[in-house]
Structure 1
Amino acid sequence: MIQINSWFTLGLTALLFFLTIFGRYVLFSLVFWWLFTRSKSGYQAIRTAQRRSGKSNQQWREIGWSALTSLVFTGIAVGVMLAYQRGYTKIYTDIHSYGLIWYPVSISLVLLIHETYYYWLHRWMHKPGVYKWVHKTHHDSLITTPWSAFSFHPLESTLQAIVIPALTFVLPLHSTAVGLILIIMTLSGAINHLNVEIYPHAFDRHWLGRWLIGATHHSLHHSQFRYNFGLYFTFWDKWMKTESPDFHQLFSQKSVKSDH
């Protein structure tokens, strides 16, 4: 691990963080775009809809905003690294320090806290006085693709980014657990913005699937605005009755039935 003890190591650390964060976004977006969007007949429908909305250059615009988002994430990550080196965070490197059971528990706890924070932040960002300054950039992608996942205004990027770093100051988290959480976040973002359903038919009514957000669930948020505010899970939408009434019907239409 790089010790930040000079302007050179600070700059090198920032560069490595940016390459990791932006590179992870590009890799995940590219893989999902190639596997599930580009190869589907629905891709042409997506491109046609984008042209009709005057957003035929949408993906390049999204990549540009995502680069800015990655810079914001980089700045916050460097701040956490500096705090870690000074002993202010609860990040640890010896996996036995808190026991093996704590490792998956800590990850689950962070995801649940992140979900709660994001759901209510998301509801707030849709308030008329806030929306145009903070959240509109993301909703300019009416028809989403994997490239939409990090397409945020810097204000929204900052608000989204602060929760997990803040938790490192109060929750013991193994360094690899932090990395895994960030991978889950990026993976979830790519899947949710695909606009092509990759989960199997009737998974929305499965004991596990009914709690997970996928492409159909989140695409309805971009088209309807008033529903489906969750990030990873559907439980807040269900409890607060903000899940779209069209979700199950649309999921049935977009998901693929198995031949077996």
Structure 2
Amino acid sequence: MIQIHTPTTFWLTALLFFIAIFGRYVIFSLLFWWLFKISLKEQFAHRAVQQRPRKIGQDWREIGWSLITSLIFTAIAVGMIIAYQHNYTQLYTNIHEYPIVWYPLSILSVMFVHETYYYWIHRWMHRPGVYRWVHKTHHDSITTSPWTAFSFHPVESTLQAIVIPVLTFVIPLHVSAVGLLLIIMTISSTINHLNTEIYPRDFDRHWLGRWLIGATHHSLHHSQFRFNYGLYFTFWDKWMKTESPNFHQLFEQKTRKEDSNL
């Protein structure tokens, strides 16, 4: 674990975290963009969810907001490291400090709490008095792309960034589990904003797939606004009856060509 004892180590740590956070966003965005928009463009052309063309300059606008988001994520991450050094968190570095079964359980526990927090804070951000100032920046991207994944207003970025660090104060987490959670979060957000459905036909009714959010599910949120508020999973939308009535029909429409062509 990085130790911060001087101004030099503070700024070096901040720089390393920023490179890791913004670099992760850029790498995954480029990877998914290249894979599904360039390399496999012909095979996945029919799976584009939203047909409305993206606005001129939208990519750079989203990257600009994502840069600010990454700076906010960096500041909160450095704060978490300082809290760890003062023994305020439940982070641990020895994998054997807890039973090994706790490792996957801790990740699932954090994802469940994160999902619950995000679903309800997301619905709150859609209240008229809040939406304009906090969430509209993200919804300016009606037709999304991998670059949309971190494109948030600074207030929303802060609300998104605080969850996992706060949970480290109450849930024992191995430091590698935190890193894995951040990777899962980035991959999930990139897939959800890809605007190309990459999951196979009938996956929306599969025992696992029915609980996972993908491009079709989240694209409907960007176009319909009042449905599909989830982050990783669909269970809160199902429980609260906020899943779009058009989801299954649209998913079938986008995936009904033979998967053997993929």
**Which TM-score bucket, shorter chain as reference?**
over 0.9
Question: What residue in structure 1 maps to residue 162 of structure 2?
Answer: 162
Q: Structure 1 CA distance, aligned partners of 2:258 and 2:57?
A: 33
Checking the alignment, whether the CA contact within 8 Å between 1:122 and 1:229 is kept in structure 2 is: yes
How far did residue 56 of structure 1 move?
Answer: 1.4
Output the aligned Cα RMSD: 1.7
Letter aligned with residue 211 of structure 1: W
Question: What residue in structure 2 maps to residue 257 of structure 1?
Answer: 258
Structure 2 CA distance for partners of 1:207 and 1:48, relative to 1, 3 Å: closer
Checking the alignment, whether the CA contact within 8 Å between 1:103 and 1:177 is kept in structure 2 is: yes
Checking the alignment, whether the CA contact within 8 Å between 2:49 and 2:197 is kept in structure 1 is: no
How far did residue 37 of structure 1 move?
Answer: 2.4
Checking the alignment, whether the CA contact within 8 Å between 1:200 and 1:257 is kept in structure 2 is: no
Bigger mean CA offset, 247-256 vs 220-229 = 247-256
Higher relative contact order (Cα pairs below 8 Å, separated by 6+ residues): 2
- The SS at the match of 1:149 is helix
Q: Deviation digits for residues 199-227 of structure 1, max 9, x if unmatched?
A: 00000000100000000000000000010
- The SS at the match of 1:232 is coil
Q: Structure 1 CA distance, aligned partners of 2:70 and 2:51?
A: 29
Q: Which runs of 5+ in 2 are unaligned?
A: none
Checking the alignment, whether the CA contact within 8 Å between 1:50 and 1:58 is kept in structure 2 is: no
Alignment equivalent of 2:53, drawn from 42, 50, 55? 50
Q: Structure 1 CA distance, aligned partners of 2:36 and 2:235?
A: 26
Checking the alignment, whether the CA contact within 8 Å between 1:90 and 1:172 is kept in structure 2 is: yes
Question: What residue in structure 2 maps to residue 70 of structure 1?
Answer: 70
How far did residue 46 of structure 1 move?
Answer: 8.8
Question: What residue in structure 2 maps to residue 137 of structure 1?
Answer: 137
Question: What residue in structure 2 maps to residue 3 of structure 1?
Answer: 3
Q: Structure 2 CA distance, aligned partners of 1:6 and 1:50?
A: 49
Letter aligned with residue 209 of structure 1: G
How far did residue 257 of structure 1 move?
Answer: 3.1
TM-score, length-scaled by structure 1: 0.95
Q: Deviation digits for residues 145-185 of structure 1, max 9, x if unmatched?
A: 01000000000000011111000000000000000000000
Checking the alignment, whether the CA contact within 8 Å between 2:49 and 2:254 is kept in structure 1 is: no
How far did residue 93 of structure 1 move?
Answer: 0.5
Checking the alignment, whether the CA contact within 8 Å between 1:47 and 1:56 is kept in structure 2 is: no
- The SS at the match of 1:96 is helix
Please show how residues 21-60 of structure 1 align to structure 2 within 5 Å: 21-39=21-39, 40=41, 42=45, 49-50=52-53, 55-60=55-60
TM-score, length-scaled by structure 2: 0.94
How far did residue 3 of structure 1 move?
Answer: 1.6
Q: Structure 2 CA distance, aligned partners of 1:102 and 1:46?
A: 38
1:206 aligns with 2:206: yes
Q: Structure 1 CA distance, aligned partners of 2:174 and 2:51?
A: 46
Checking the alignment, whether the CA contact within 8 Å between 2:2 and 2:81 is kept in structure 1 is: no
Checking the alignment, whether the CA contact within 8 Å between 2:50 and 2:219 is kept in structure 1 is: no
Q: Structure 1 CA distance, aligned partners of 2:212 and 2:58?
A: 27
Structure 2 CA distance for partners of 1:47 and 1:172, relative to 1, 3 Å: closer
Checking the alignment, whether the CA contact within 8 Å between 1:59 and 1:147 is kept in structure 2 is: yes
Checking the alignment, whether the CA contact within 8 Å between 1:196 and 1:215 is kept in structure 2 is: yes
What is the percentage of aligned positions where both structures have the same residue? 71
